[in-house]
Amino acid sequence: MLELRINRQPAMIGLNITKAQVDLQTTAGQVNMETTPAKLDIHSPAPVLHIDQRQCFADKGMKSIDRFMSDWVAEAHSDFVTGLSRTASEGDQLARFRSCSIADIVNSDSGQMPDFVLKSVPQQPPEIWCEVYPVQFNNQAGEVHFDYIPARVEANSQPGQVETYLLQKPFLEINWVGKNIDTRA
């Protein structure tokens, strides 16, 4: 029997590892905004109410100066024409003095009853009307102005490295240990 002693040493590899590095520098994006608010101006003129009571006051006897003058001028003209015709008819009666006397003329004037007129005041209602004006508005749209600065990313990278080296050499050693040699084969 053959006695052998085998010594072996495996190879060992050494590694120098440099890790990869990434250096990121970021600048955030910016939005600068300026806004102008919207404006709305509204103007609503008040309605105007008109009440014309001139005819009501005229029915009551309270007239404007122009109306008062024109009514009295018309009444004076009417009284003048009536008085003129009465005077003429009385003159005609006196011209026929044989058929009528002064007493007949006096009796003809004294027998007339004045006319009484019953009226409710005012006889006509006041005139009422209203002037309505539309709503006026002026609007100015709001504005938005903005500047946008996009975000930036700056990357500095160093790739990783792996260096390999032989840390321990392999070897195999076979030694014969023993005293007997078998020569038979």
pLDDT in tens, 19-52: 999 888 898 889 899 999 999 999 999 999 999 8
Classify residue 61: in a domain, yes or no: yes
pLDDT band at 90 (very low <50, low <70, confident <90, very high): confident
Q: Which residues pair with 46 in a beta bridge?
A: none
Classify residue 4: in a domain, yes or no: no
pLDDT band at 78 (very low <50, low <70, confident <90, very high): very high
The average confidence (pLDDT) of the chain is: 83
CA-nearest of 152, 160, 150, 162 to 22 is 160
Classify residue 96: in a domain, yes or no: yes
pLDDT band at 2 (very low <50, low <70, confident <90, very high): low
Looking at residue 4, what is its pLDDT?
77
Angle at 183 between CA 181 and CA 184, to 5 degrees: 135
- Exposure of 55 by Cβ count < 10 A (0-12 exposed, 13-18 middle, 19+ buried)? middle
Residue 96 CA to residue 19 CA, distance in Å, equals 157
Q: What's the domain range around 100?
A: 55-111
Number of folded domains that form the chain: 1
* Contact call for residues 77 and 159 (beta carbons, < 8 A): no
Average pLDDT estimate for 95-122: 67
Task: Note the pTM of the prediction, 2 decimals.
Answer: 0.34
Average pLDDT estimate for 127-142: 90
Classify residue 100: in a domain, yes or no: yes
CA-nearest of 155, 153, 152, 163 to 21 is 155
Cα separations in angstroms, 171 against 7, 108, 110, 182: 8, 178, 176, 28
Q: Cα Rg for the chain, rounded, in angstroms?
A: 68
Classify residue 1: in a domain, yes or no: no
Tell me which amino acid residue 26 is: T
Looking at residue 108, what is its pLDDT?
67
Q: Given a cut of 70, is residue 164 above it in pLDDT?
A: yes
Classify residue 83: in a domain, yes or no: yes
Classify residue 184: in a domain, yes or no: no
Classify residue 92: in a domain, yes or no: yes
